[in-house]
Structure 1
Amino acid sequence: MAAYRPISRRRLLQSGAGAAALTLASPAILRAQSDKIRFGHLTPRTGFLGPLGEYAAMASRLAVDEINAAGGVMGREIELLQEDSVNPQTASTKAERMIERDGVACIVGEISSSSGLTIGQVAQRTGTLFVNTGCNSDALRGSDCKKFMFHIEAQNSMYVKSIGQFYTREGLVEGKRWFSMTADYAFGHDLLKVAKRFMTANGGTFAGDELVPTDATDFSAYMLQIRAAEPDLVILNLAGQQTTNFFKQYAEFGLDYPLGGFGFDMALAWAAGKGNFVGSWPSVWHHRVETDGSRAFVKAFTDAYGKPPENQAWGDYNAVKIIAQSMEELGTTDSAAIVEHFESEASFDVLKTREGYFRKRDHQFMNEMYGITALPPDQIENQWDIFTSSDPVPGTGESLELIAATEEENTCTFPS
């Protein structure tokens, strides 16, 4: 990884505390510049991914507010343009409009892998930086990778390999039978492919393997299939509000087979209600991470919105901060210059115990992850702290590469 020397304002851009320290100076600085730097933010605000998109929108606004309070970027204020991406076609249209009509310097966001692909295509065609904050598909880092698209969100392989270590230790893989339920769209198809690769390599089999339409709300038929299959582990690879609905119905049916999965968002567990969230899951970040940066972020978000941030909020908040920091340090908003900077594998503080970096060969952000396990109902003290967490994965001294897809597993060739 390339050596990296931060400049003095780096920590100010990374923390709300630093932003507050420069608040008194910022109005004069910002008035000296008549032009603002526009950031485009696209994410689903409606539909089955809407609850996650709301966290993304709140976090990106918080990041921009903190940066502007600290004096902006190169003395210029950031203006955040936010839109509901809704679906892939709409995401593409709005990305193109933001770039060509509104003159955004970059685009941040998205959750749907299908929409992420179409935004990436627009970004590549126009030479505009796009940092994906919520799309998990390995294909976006592989067969569909783009020179101007980067990924702070973990890829499916990282989710599978990180929590897969836990399942292996608990004896839930080798010689075991899983019942899998997977969202029937790009994210789910890609995740299922990666999960099957993991199972094949570790001696497990599938007792059931069901693709679930994204508009499904009643899981009664699937519950009956699970009961008949008597699996060793139920693997839930659903998306958005589907996950919340499944948690509630799983409890209602009284099923007690171990439950887990390879894709997870804490907001969906919170929405399920006390006692309905069960099992062990992977997480790219959570609000109980014990670092100074995480505690400051959680406090700032909670003060602003009356509830703690979750993992989707972490991605959008840090993506905005990383781009702003890079523009400040490079002295430019030029996308090509930022792409080159990211590809140097410069390190960035993302509120964890060690810094992370964008991997040059596929633009995946390499950083720690966590395994979380639901608490029993009698140990839950409030509506937010409903789980325990593992130590960071990979462990201290281990390479961050351990949980990511290898080049052989997922090959990226950037378009010229």
Structure 2
Amino acid sequence: MRRRTLLAGAAGTLPLLAAPGLLRAQSTSRPVQLGLVSDMGGPFRDVGGPGQRVAAELAVQDFGGSVLGRQIVVRQADGQNRADISAQLAREWIDREGVDALADGAASSAGLAIQEVCRERKRVYLITGPATSDMTGARCSPYGMQFGYDTYALSHGTATALTKAGGDTWFFITADYAFGHALERDATNAVRANGGRVLGAVKAPLNTSDFSSFLIQARASGAKVVGLANAGTDLQNCVKQAAEFGLTRGGRVRMATLLVQIPDVVSLGHQTCEGMVFTDSFYWDMSDKARAFAARFQQRIPQHPPGLQHAGVYGATLHWLKAVQAAGSTDADAVVAAMKSTPMNDMYNENVRIREDGRAMHRMYLWQVKPASEAKSRFDFCRLVADIPPEEAWRPMSEGGCPLVRS
């Protein structure tokens, strides 16, 4: 019964194609297919969700709509942030539908499961939703490449800055699954490397609505910084309730939001987020090219500008298609070789290389949400605090434990 339910649910969402006229078929051959396993109704819907499909389709449009004389098709389905469902979708797409590459993945636990399916089936996996740095560490794959962000870069940018600024004692409220564990671990390492101490931590289940008991423990710890190792609506609920508790009133405690994305700021409201510091690889207003991409994205999703996951899937999809063209094939080994030997260039990446372990070496940036009174437009939220070069942003390849890395 469970299997029939799963397949019935998938069938309702599987072939989500681009808008009419977006794709241009040049032959009757089997299409080249990209499958997005996303969170369509859970805590990561706004930061990923339908926007991932929009971003992927914009990349397909910019590429020209076809490759090797074949139409390009984008599929999307809801993995529900569950490893078993996401892995089953990946298998069904590859085995029955002939999908050539997978992308997104939403929750890290789901992404790790998809990565194993892609390893077994020899399919490219464009990792744009899962954030755990284990994707390119001990759990790396010859077919997996991670774009946009990971827990190492997110935590080291923000935790290093706050610890150096005097926030030398920390308490973590952590999402109780692979992403949260990795984010707390990587942030803890950054805090300790800069002379700070972690006084305690508490684990909160995914989709927690009431953070009161966790916030009480954080306040009782006496820590100067409360690190939020969660994301999506879990992060939003935690930030809102911390404000209601007056946790940061008087400036004695700072909130370290280790993964904030622009749709989160929209949902929380500008005034709630004033002063918030976070690390990100993309901001919609960072350049003329980024603003042009955001304008196109918002024609389809006007509620908020694109965030780093949307930018990540755009760049990953475009780079994958260029590699398919260069390789003259959708064969995963040939395509991965082309992707790793050719730098990424798109609307926010310039000559970005993909390392042996699958990590795309983007620049990262430290942003601060400026006062709402300084906003010049509805979504004018951030000012740039620091530009973090790739060699400082990402974990050294020698420390990740990826078995693909030659010693």
TM-score when normalising by structure 1: 0.84
The letter for the 1-side match of 2:91 is E
Q: Which of 380, 401, 406 matches 1:411? A: 401
- CA offsets 1:52-96 (integer angstroms, 9 cap, x no match): 2232232223323333xx252133220111111111101100001
Task: Work out whether 1:91 is the aligned partner of 2:86.
Answer: yes
Task: Work out whether 1:312 is the aligned partner of 2:302.
Answer: no
Q: Which of 130, 135, 147 matches 2:142? A: 147
The SS at the match of 1:276 is helix
- Residue matched to 1:288: 285
Deviation of 1:168 after TM superposition, in Å, equals: 4.6
Deviation of 1:333 after TM superposition, in Å, equals: 1.5
Deviation of 1:381 after TM superposition, in Å, equals: 4.6
CA distance in 1, matches of 2:135, 2:163: 27
- Residue matched to 1:225: 217
- Residue matched to 2:181: 189
Q: Which of 254, 276, 279 matches 2:272? A: 276
Task: Work out whether 1:76 is the aligned partner of 2:66.
Answer: no
- Residue matched to 1:206: 198
The SS at the match of 1:100 is helix
- CA offsets 1:324-368 (integer angstroms, 9 cap, x no match): 111122222111101112333x211143363211101x1111010
Q: Which of 44, 47, 53 matches 2:42? A: 47
CA distance in 1, matches of 2:189, 2:386: 25
2:172–2:218 CA contact under 8 A, matched in 1: no
Gaps of 5+ in 2: 1-20
- Residue matched to 2:129: 134
Q: 1:324 to 1:408 in 2, by over 3 A?
A: closer
CA distance in 2, matches of 1:355, 1:164: 28
Deviation of 1:207 after TM superposition, in Å, equals: 3.1
Identity %: 26
- Residue matched to 1:20: none
1:154–1:364 CA contact under 8 A, matched in 2: no
- Residue matched to 1:385: 380
CA distance in 2, matches of 1:31, 1:194: 47
Q: Which of 335, 341, 358 matches 2:354? A: 358
CA distance in 2, matches of 1:153, 1:118: 20
In the alignment of these two chains, the number of paired residues is: 377
Q: 1:32 to 1:294 in 2, by over 3 A?
A: same
CA distance in 2, matches of 1:223, 1:121: 36
Q: Which has the higher contact order (CA 8 A, sep 6+)?
A: 1
Task: Work out whether 1:235 is the aligned partner of 2:227.
Answer: yes
- Residue matched to 2:110: 115
CA distance in 2, matches of 1:104, 1:280: 39
The letter for the 2-side match of 1:313 is H
2:326–2:338 CA contact under 8 A, matched in 1: no
Deviation of 1:197 after TM superposition, in Å, equals: 1.4
RMSD, aligned CA: 2.2
TM-score when normalising by structure 2: 0.86
CA distance in 2, matches of 1:104, 1:163: 38
Q: 1:408 to 1:333 in 2, by over 3 A?
A: closer
CA distance in 2, matches of 1:153, 1:113: 14
The letter for the 2-side match of 1:98 is W
The letter for the 1-side match of 2:61 is D
- Residue matched to 2:31: 36
Q: 1:233 to 1:31 in 2, by over 3 A?
A: same
